[in-house]
Structure formats: C-alpha cells, structure tokens
Structure 1
C-alpha cells in the first residue's frame, strides 16, 4: 500500500521550524541562499535523470535557458 507523499511546502516549513529550533536563539544568516542551494541541487538531479541527461529538454522543463542550466549544473558540480 503506497502512502501519499508530504507536500513539498509542508516539508520545507517543518524543516525550517526544526532549523530555528536547532539555532537555540541564535540569529540565522543567509537563509535564502542556503535554502535555494539545498532545494536546487536535488531538483536538478531529478530533472536531469528524468530528461536522461538531455540539457535542452531539462532546461525547457525547468523554464530556464540552457546556458543558465549549464551554469547551475557547474555550480553544483554536476557536470
């Protein structure tokens, strides 16, 4: 029997709550950049896998330019 996966926004919300709890009162820094990097890499991994490595197709699915995709793949050391 399969279960319904937790919606992505709920997963993010719960993990951010845990993140703030783990800070124990310390103020966070650069959260936007941190979160984008944490979400972007698995997104690129799954899309590239589903597109069978076809960067043009992956870029189209993501709604970004192929050059932007290549830059992001390089940033995440995926090339």
Structure 2
C-alpha cells in the first residue's frame, strides 16, 4: 500500500538544455539592446540635435567676438 502512495517525478530534460538557454538569452539580450538603443536615440539624440540646430540658428559669431573683446580676453585686440 505504501508503494502506491509514492509518486514518481519524470526525469528532467537535460539534453540540449544549455543550447536552448543560450538561444533564449541571446534573443532576450538582442531585443533589450535594440529597444534601449531606439529609446536612447529618440529621447536623447533627437533632443540633442534639436538643441544644436537651435543654437547654430541663433548664433552670431561677430557679436560673441565683440563681447569677448570688450571683456579684455584677447591680448592682440
């Protein structure tokens, strides 16, 4: 009667487990890298491009030079 109460567990699947785990991890890593790269480009890169474009659209080199010259930053001018 004690023999029938004991349940036997199936043997674990060990053959090919490492290859399956590596494949799963590589797919997860590539997906995470692609998503994070896209988010970085959209959130940081595009904002940085917009700020550089705004700076160079309104930048006046002559005015900047005159302000530095008025402050006495140049020895030759």
TM-score normalised according to structure 1 size: 0.29
TM-score normalised according to structure 2 size: 0.30
The structure having more radius of gyration, on CA atoms, is 2
The structure in which a higher percent of residues are helix is 2
